[in-house]
Amino acid sequence: MNGELTDIRPTFIDLFSGCGGLSYGFIMAGWRPLFAVEKDPSAAQSYQLNFNCPVWAGLIEDFVSELENRRIVFPKVNAIIGGPPCQGFSPLGKMSAKQETIENHNSLNDLWAYFLRSVELLKPDIFITENVPEFIRSQEFKKYENKAKKLGYFLNPNVLNAAEFGVPQKRKRAFCIGSLKGDPPLPRKSSERSNVRDAIGHLPLQPDNKNWHIGRNPTKKSYERYQVIPPGGNRFDLMKNRPDITPPCWLKKKKGTTDVFGRLEWDKPASTIRTEFFKPEKGRYLHPEAHRPITHREAACIQTFPDSFIFFGSKIDVARQIGEAVPPLLAEAVAETILDHLKEEEKHGSKR
């Protein structure tokens, strides 16, 4: 063995990996990555830079074809994890998208089939998919569920709120865990709660333009608008206090979401971090104290990425990677629970 220690950590591959939020959580829980698949070049590069793991920077369809023809061969894979695209299931995307965009999103709805084809070919003990909550209430999920059960997997689909697992953010996501080793458990909710101050209080109040702590150059009118919004406030505060600088479309819309042009609060969890967090008009993304939207690094911290995590790409590329990621701390809770499940089933199996 040339003096080298054998790595006995359980292994996983990550499909639709993005920059690697789900993988990071698994690694923190004691798993070892073997491979990742991600079609977005920038996200694939981010994954490669952080995990030093082979990445298929291309389509899942082509990867599955390589598996089927045995042009890619893996040693034992204990788990396959991933987040098939969710735009076709997300109500947020459907509300504002043009018909062409909706049709494109809907074409992504069945990519879970390639995920389960990989499961069928590699036969891992565990698989985990992550998606928007609407997925497990959809017709596509019924097909997914039937296919997984035909492959011999016990399923546990459920919605988890990241804030209940130590993440400083209210973020609900659907996890479906499949196991060949009996009914898979869900992680227990943490007694710890985290807030925006815990996440970003260590960063300079004014962006220093280092390590993605990057500021924007708002117009004078935008800056005046920011100043009107108190902690926990939103566009209605702007409408009430400064109608003269309120966009006319908001003045006409007396009701609606309370997150738009909202300001975060230091001692509360953030709202869901999405891909356009740098635009205050898209949600509750104003800094709790400074008159500006949160920076890319602040958004990453709220997602529980460490400051050492490397992001590759343009500002828009990286914002998308951050907003689409699974919070690593939530992923770690899931990964620890599944690892305990496998160990427990192995222990019982040895006694049978």
Residue-by-residue pLDDT tens, the chain, 352 positions = 444 578 899 999 999 999 999 999 999 999 999 999 999 999 999 999 999 999 999 999 999 999 999 999 999 999 999 999 866 665 655 445 565 544 444 455 789 999 999 999 999 999 999 999 999 999 999 999 999 999 999 999 999 999 999 999 999 999 999 999 999 999 999 999 999 999 999 999 999 999 999 998 999 999 999 999 999 999 999 999 999 999 998 988 877 778 999 999 999 999 999 999 999 999 999 999 999 999 999 999 999 999 999 999 999 999 999 999 999 999 999 999 999 999 998 887 655 4
3-state secondary structure of 96: helix
Distance CA(262)–CA(222), nearest Å, equals: 13
DSSP 272-300: PP-TTTT-GGGSEEE-SSSSSBPPHHHHH
pTM above 0.85, yes or no: yes
Fold of 196-322: DNA Methylase; Chain A, domain 2 (3.90.120)
Q: State how far the Cα of 193 lies from the Cα of 195, in Å rounded to an integer.
A: 7
Domain map of the chain by residue range? 11-189+328-351, 196-322
Cα(124)–Cα(133) distance, rounded to whole angstroms?
Answer: 24
Residue 279 identity: K
Give the CA dihedral 42, 60, 84, 337, nearest 10 degrees. Answer: -90
How remote is the C-alpha of 256 from its chain's centroid?
26
SS3 label, residue 53: coil
Distances from the Cα of 310 to the Cα of 21, 48, 166, angstroms: 12, 10, 22
Do 280 and 261 touch, CB atoms closer than 8 A?
Answer: yes
Q: Report CA Rg, the chain.
A: 21
Residue 50 is predicted with a pLDDT of 98
Phi-psi map region of 216: left, alpha, beta (phi>0 left; psi -120 to 50 alpha): beta
Fold of 11-189+328-351: Rossmann fold (3.40.50)
Would you please indicate which residues are annotated as catalytic (active-site) residues? 86
